Amino acid sequence: MTPNKGRAYFSIVGYHFNPEIITQHLGLEPTSTNDAGTRGDLDKPVISSWEFSSATINSDEQVIDVYRLIDNEILKKIEHSKDKIIEVCKAHNLSPRIGVELTLSIDKDESEPAVGFGSRVIKFASEIGAFLNVDYKLSERI
């Protein structure tokens, strides 16, 4: 049986910026960065990104509850930086995102993960001007 997998994340993306400025401004170490935009030119802009993510959870280890995952693993750790997030996004024309990535099992016996965003997350996203993303794909065939 192939389990469901999921993770939650907060990211800041944009053109022509070095993700290190986000780390310095927020004082939070990212889970991953991509500085491709620092090497792009104006004719062919490339996106850079700064991301803070939860670990990937497998449904055979624990229940995938996106509500709790975003609230406990992401929002509690970035919420205090709300004003700094707004400042750095405005100063560098960047886009914040709160999201979840899911790999869904095609096994009929596998339960579906609880997916959604609570009012606290929606309020925070609205205050910082963030997009809410849900990305999903199907697991490999058994």
Given a cut of 90, whether residue 93 has pLDDT beyond it is yes
Cα–Cα dist 11/103, whole Å: 19
pLDDT(14) > 90: yes
Backbone φ and ψ of 68, nearest 5°: -70, -40
Two structure tokens written together for 105: 């099992």
pTM score, whole prediction: 0.88
pLDDT at position 38 is 74
Specify the 3-state DSSP secondary structure of 69: helix
Segments making up each domain of the chain, as ranges: 31-47+64-96
